[in-house]
């Protein structure tokens, strides 16, 4: 290739990269790098975008190359700035992170020497290659660390027919906010709120509010509800909506005392599947 000398080459425009966040049972997939930079450090699957690729196309290609897997589902998380390195050169990057679901057996290529699923909460970020990856790990440790057994137990108290999907929990966090209540390290309650923009207003919906039956009547439900309301106010929400079974007497009384008004309307559900 002919060497090009131009002013634009001196601009520090970031290079685009993509990274997969693959989590199972609250353990995240890490790869041990077999190449410089950061040879021997743990890394997340991903790489650089090529010409004419979209971020999701790039990540699917990288997962095929690094893990030998074709079957993927991607949910965008966020972008984070960081720094890349090629030999002695350092440059800015913009890393696109995706929550990634995979199906199939992992077969790593020569870029990495081994892989492990590691407890998200136990990761020391200084062991992770690249600063943008370290940043996302810190965020995931704040938002995605859950005792999945307790989550399933709590949700089953709300609806015993429901099967809790781990990936749906993470997507719910990305689409809104989950308030959690603990007794020491034991998860005893949670509630989820998510925003939606209609033609008329910016709304939010509260769903899946539950307190462990052995902890009810102690004010934990009110604390969760107020935390969800506070989140909505900070997000500039105009109206908060929730529904509740009339048989849940204590819950309905809590909603009324917290300022919710009973709206005279029929509530219909249409199941697409």
Q: Residue 114 catalytic?
A: yes
Q: What share of the chain is helix, strand, coil (3-state, %, to 5)?
A: 30, 35, 35
Give residues with Cβ within 8 angstroms of 79, minimum separation 6.
Answer: 94, 95, 96, 97
DSSP states of 39-75 as a string? TTSEE-SEEEPPTT--HHHHHHHHHHHHH---EEEEE
Q: Is 178 helix (H, G, I), strand (E, B) or coil?
A: strand
Burial (CB < 10 A; 0-12, 13-18, 19+), residue 213, is exposed
Residue of 35, 36, 107, 114 with catalytic role: 114
> Which of 211, 267, 220, 212 shows the shortest CA–CA distance to 241?
267
Give residues with Cβ within 8 angstroms of 161, minimum separation 6.
Answer: none
Q: Are 156 and 162 in contact (CB under 8 A)?
A: yes
Give me the active site residues, please.
114
């Amino acid at each position: 290739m002919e060497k090009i000398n131009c002013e634009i080459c001196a601009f520090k425009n970031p290079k685009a990269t993509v990274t997969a966040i693959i989590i199972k049972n609250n353990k995240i997939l890490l790869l041990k790098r077999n190449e410089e930079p950061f040879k021997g450090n743990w890394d997340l699957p991903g790489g650089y975008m090529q010409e004419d690729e979209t971020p999701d196309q790039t990540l699917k290609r990288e997962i095929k190359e690094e893990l030998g897997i074709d079957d993927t589902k991607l949910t965008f998380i966020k972008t984070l700035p960081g720094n890349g390195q090629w030999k002695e050169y350092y440059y800015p990057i913009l890393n696109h992170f995706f929550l990634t679901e995979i199906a199939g057996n992992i077969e790593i290529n020569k870029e990495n020497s081994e892989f492990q699923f590691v407890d998200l909460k136990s990761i020391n970020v200084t062991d992770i290659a690249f600063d943008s990856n370290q940043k996302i790990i810190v965020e995931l440790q704040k938002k995605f660390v859950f005792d999945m057994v307790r989550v399933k137990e709590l949700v089953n108290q709300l609806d015993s027919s429901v099967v809790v999907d781990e990936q749906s929990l993470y997507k719910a966090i990305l689409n809104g906010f989950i308030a959690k209540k603990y007794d020491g390290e034991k998860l005893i309650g949670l509630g989820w709120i998510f925003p939606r923009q209609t033609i008329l207003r910016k709304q939010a919906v509260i769903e899946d509010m539950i307190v462990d039956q052995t902890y009810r009547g102690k004010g934990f439900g009110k604390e969760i509800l107020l935390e969800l309301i506070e989140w909505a106010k900070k997000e500039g929400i105009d109206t908060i909506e929730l529904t509740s079974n009339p048989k849940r007497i204590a819950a309905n009384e809590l909603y009324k005392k917290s300022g919710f008004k009973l709206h005279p309307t029929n509530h219909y559900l249409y199941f697409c599947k």
